[in-house]
Chains A and B, each alone.
Chain A
Amino acid sequence: DTAVSQTPKYLVTQMGNDKSIKCEQNLGHDTMYWYKQDSKKFLKIMFSYNNKELIINETVPNRFSPKSPDKAHLNLHINSLELGDSAVYFCASSPNDRGLDYEQYFGPGTRLTVT
Chain B
Amino acid sequence: GESVGLHLPTLSVQEGDNSIINCAYSNSASDYFIWYKQESGKGPQFIIDIRSNMDKRQGQRVTVLLNKTVKHLSLQIAATQPGDSAVYFCAENPSSNTGKLIFGQGTTLQVKP
Using a CB–CB distance below 8 Å, which chain A residues touch chain B? 4, 31, 33, 40-45, 48, 50, 55-56, 90, 92, 94, 96-109
**Do A43 and B93 have beta carbons less than 8 Å apart?**
no
Count residues of chain B with CB under 8 A from any CB of chain A: 26
> Taking A40-B105, A43-B89 as contacts, is the C-beta distance between A104 and B98 under 8 angstroms?
no
B32 cross-chain contacts in A, Cβ below 8 A: 100-101
Known: A50-B99, A105-B46. 13 other contacts (CB 8 A): A41-B105, A41-B106, A42-B105, A45-B101, A48-B98, A56-B98, A56-B99, A99-B96, A104-B34, A104-B101, A106-B36, A108-B41, A109-B42
Measured between C-beta atoms, what is the minimum distance from B104 to chain A in Å? 9
A106 lies within 8 A of B43 (CB):
yes
In angstroms, Cα B32 to Cα A99, docked, is: 9
Partner of A55, one of B44, B89, B96, B99: B99
Query: In the complex, which residue of chain A has the Cβ closest to the Cβ of B38?
Result: A41
User: In the complex, how many angstroms separate the beta carbon of B49 from the nearest chain A beta carbon?
Assistant: 7
Q: Which residue of B lies closest to A35 (CB)?
A: B103
CA gap between A94 and B45 in the complex, in Å: 13
- What are the residues of chain A within 8 A of B43 when measuring CB–CB? 4, 90, 92, 106-109
**Is the pair B96, A100 in contact by a Cβ cutoff of 8 Å?**
yes
The reply to whether A101 and B105 contact each other, CB–CB distance below 8 Å, is no
Which of chain A's residues has its CB closest to B108's CB?
A41
Is B100 in contact with chain A by the CB < 8 A criterion? yes
Chain B residue nearest to A33 in the complex (CB):
B99
- With beta carbons under 8 angstroms apart, the residue of B49, B87, B89 that contacts A101 is B49
A28 to chain B, nearest CB (A): 16
